[in-house]
């Protein structure tokens, strides 16, 4: 049963349908919020608020305009930005100062990554400007397409590509001391700054 059908059943009081929707999308929404805010508590609150809003105002979701996944990510993003604003964080400029890009000669990845290196990667992602971080998290971790990300963040695909490019360059600069190639790997998750997937 697809999301639209489940949501219609949930709106008629079918608790099992709502729970299925919740289980289907909860983890991805939580991961996104957590990677944006670095707070389990805030990510849990945002995830819960998104699903409460969905069940209280189901008419706001239009299946003809976007998938439920895209709609939930957009709602989660709005709550993340509200959290930033409430915390006094100004989100206006996501440009990075131009710095020389460190180049490395590609060579086989033979480094066994330690917890310290994995931690550095997570911190580097967390330190990205919010607009770049959300593009990176949605593309690399949640595997949304560029078009889906554009719909979530309310920007055109070109802007999303630019943010991804800047995020990757920033990661490459920050993590250059730890790696001798263009590959950055964190445990079971892989981030490939250069050409990880076809950007279609």
Reported as a single tens digit per residue, the pLDDT across 88-116 is 766 554 543 343 333 443 333 334 445 66
The domain segmentation of the chain, as residue ranges, is 3-86, 115-191
**What is the CATH topology of the domain spanning 3-86?**
Rna Polymerase Sigma Factor; Chain: A (1.10.1740)
Is-same-fold flag (3-86; 115-191)? no
Residue with the two structure tokens 């944006």: 36
- In this predicted model, what pLDDT tens digit does every residue of 159-195 receive, in sequence order? 999 999 999 999 988 888 776 544 444 333 344 333 3
Q: What is the mean pLDDT of residues 64-78?
A: 93
d(C-alpha 35, C-alpha 132), whole Å: 12
pLDDT at 120: 82
The second-level CATH assignment, the architecture, of 115-191 is Orthogonal Bundle (1.10)
Nearby residues of 131 by Cβ (< 8 Å), 6 or more positions away? 91, 94, 153, 163
């Amino acid at each position: 049963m697809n999301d639209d059908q489940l949501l219609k059943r949930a709106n008629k009081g079918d608790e099992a349908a709502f729970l299925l929707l919740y289980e289907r999308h909860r983890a991805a929404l939580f991961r996104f919020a957590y990677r944006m805010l670095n707070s389990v508590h805030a990510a849990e609150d945002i995830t819960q608020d998104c699903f409460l809003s969905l069940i209280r105002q189901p008419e706001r979701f239009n299946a003809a305009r976007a998938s439920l996944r895209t709609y939930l990510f957009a709602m989660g993003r709005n709550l993340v930005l509200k959290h930033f604003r409430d915390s006094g964080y100004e989100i206006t400029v996501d440009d990075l100062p131009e710095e020389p890009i460190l180049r490395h000669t590609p060579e086989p990845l033979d480094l066994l990554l330690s917890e310290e290196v994995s931690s550095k990667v997570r911190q580097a992602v967390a330190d990205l400007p919010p607009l770049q971080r959300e593009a990176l998290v949605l593309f690399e971790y949640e595997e949304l397409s560029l078009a889906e990300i554009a719909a979530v963040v309310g920007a055109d695909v070109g802007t999303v590509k630019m943010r991804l490019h800047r995020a990757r360059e920033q990661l490459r600069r920050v993590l250059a001391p730890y790696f001798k190639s263009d590959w950055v790997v964190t445990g079971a998750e892989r981030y490939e700054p250069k050409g990880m997937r076809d950007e279609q």
